[in-house]
Chains A and B, each alone.
Chain A
């Protein structure tokens, strides 16, 4: 299953949607020939933690699964925001999962080689702050040994870290993979470099995307910490001043860049936290186009696209995706959407948009 998926990655498709609404179907490998000299592609280089921990609820002896969902303090693995499930694993859809046993603050959780404590609940009986009773080195070693990638029922075989780390994965701070980055490989980056298309990264701790619980899902995405390197902020300024477009690889990059946006359209370098959702009413200040996976209406990832394109354009894109059998899961196909001209706030951006996504 996974091997087949990986083969499919090379034959993945790309729907490119222009700002004016025109669409093209491309092999995803054609990404290398898209964009124009001076454009800047920005990706999330977070690596993904094995954040699913099977184990036991100490007081009851019941089997549970704990999913680490967000940082309490980024890069400090002592405490996490976590969600508990009852017995079972990813083979069952999260909506159908058994609830965990009743849990109380102070309960011990035995998670593989790690021992943790339920520190306090976050206004929901399944959502809590988990405190590992070890030091950093032991926690990382325990996660590496006992943790599994968080995964969902649509992929039947167990995922390994090599399935979920993107090719540029560097800093292990994400809880779920920044999966738009699966479209990138070193060959594509080399091709962009040769064509004068810039490439830069930020690191954004993508959190849990789904809990299966409607009440909890309403609270997603949780606040996600990000770090924008000084060089990336500088590259954005210089691309913008030369009329180049900013292409975000994935919704996490959009969230980070828009959270760090300055009033002049540049971004502030450094650490920050992206909170809240981006949607129809969001005025994008930085990002001109997004490369993303294929998502469904209603998912926060899809709703974010409404900041880029009118509903009518997205409706037509959706129809085309269905008609041509695009695969929707995170190992599936991709779409590239240019921002609608109306949401631009300077003439410069209108000019750069008129070039379209097609490479020269």
Chain B
């Protein structure tokens, strides 16, 4: 992918956009000229990143049902539609990580609320906009950020792993269902990255073995563009 790819027609929303992988994605997409909206819980951080990147900052918590439609309204209102939704915001559940037998129900619910229900609700609220983009021949893509903990049974990662496994399966099923509407949904495991979330989960990790969020963001962008370009020509033929 050439570095000067023009993304200025692309409308992308990123949840969890003020730290870690989400922040790296917002910075990369904005620098490449895409129209970007991002969501995060802390007003001050949202303001700072919006100022730094020029992206549209939205204060909200994807783990709260009441926040979802206000977020969706601001995404489509600010971007004039939506081509790509990146559900990146994640909760570890209990911190420090805990064995399932030691996990409080509320912490487990929090992981499900942010990692599973949040992406489900936000995707549902924005599905009309994504389908409209597909009808328009622009392609429409949902990227759900997954983890190897969605597949492998790591001790101590129960709440996170179970929620990410459910998200991965939801993504696969929805992709089957939405294909004919021109909307694709994919899971991407960005790998173990040197992020604030990882530092909380594995405080004594050797950071030199971890990927940078910027590196993972660049990989995700490549995948995104490949998905969009492989899909759009099919769309043109599939719709009247």
Bind each other: yes
On A, residues with C-beta under 8 Å from B are 40, 45, 47, 49-50, 75, 77, 136-137, 140-141, 143-145, 160-162, 165-172, 186, 189-190, 193, 198, 200-201, 229, 231, 234-235, 238-239
**Known contacts A172-B73, A186-B178, A229-B135; can you find 8 more A-B pairs with CB under 8 A?**
A45-B132, A47-B128, A77-B77, A140-B78, A144-B70, A162-B125, A170-B76, A201-B132
Q: A136-B78, A170-B76, A170-B81 are in contact. Are A162 and B181 (CB under 8 A)?
A: no
Task: Quote the shortest CB–CB distance from A279 to chain B (angstroms).
Answer: 31
Task: Quote the shortest CB–CB distance from A7 to chain B (angstroms).
Answer: 18
Partner of B125, one of A40, A136, A143, A165: A165
> Interface digits, B118-134 against A, CB 8 Å rule (1 contact, 0 not)?
00000001011101100
Q: How far is the CA of A17 from the CA of B66 in the complex (A)?
A: 40
List the B side residues contacting A160 at CB < 8 Å: 66, 69
Task: Quote the shortest CB–CB distance from A311 to chain B (angstroms).
Answer: 36
Question: Could you tell me how many residues of chain B have their Cβ less than 8 Å away from some Cβ of chain A?
Answer: 32
Query: In the complex, are the beta carbons of B129 and A161 less than 8 A apart?
Result: no
Partner of B69, one of A75, A165, A198: A165
> Interface digits, B66-98 against A, CB 8 Å rule (1 contact, 0 not)?
101111111011101100000000000000000
Q: How far is the CA of A144 from the CA of B67 in the complex (A)?
A: 9
Q: A168-B128, A168-B131, A198-B240 are in contact. Are A137 and B78 (CB under 8 A)?
A: yes
Q: A165-B125, A170-B128, A231-B240 are in contact. Are A47 and B135 (CB under 8 A)?
A: no
Task: Quote the shortest CB–CB distance from A93 to chain B (angstroms).
Answer: 27
B104 an interface residue at 8 Å Cβ cutoff?
no
8 Å CB contacts to A: which residues of B114-171?
A: 125, 127-129, 131-132, 135-137
25 CB < 8 A contacts A-B: A47-B129, A75-B80, A77-B77, A136-B78, A143-B73, A160-B69, A161-B73, A162-B68, A162-B125, A167-B128, A168-B132, A169-B129, A170-B128, A171-B76, A171-B81, A186-B177, A190-B180, A190-B181, A229-B135, A229-B136, A231-B135, A231-B136, A231-B137, A234-B240, A238-B240
**Interface SS majority for chain B:** helix
Q: A136-B78, A145-B70, A172-B73 are in contact. Are A45 and B128 (CB under 8 A)?
A: yes
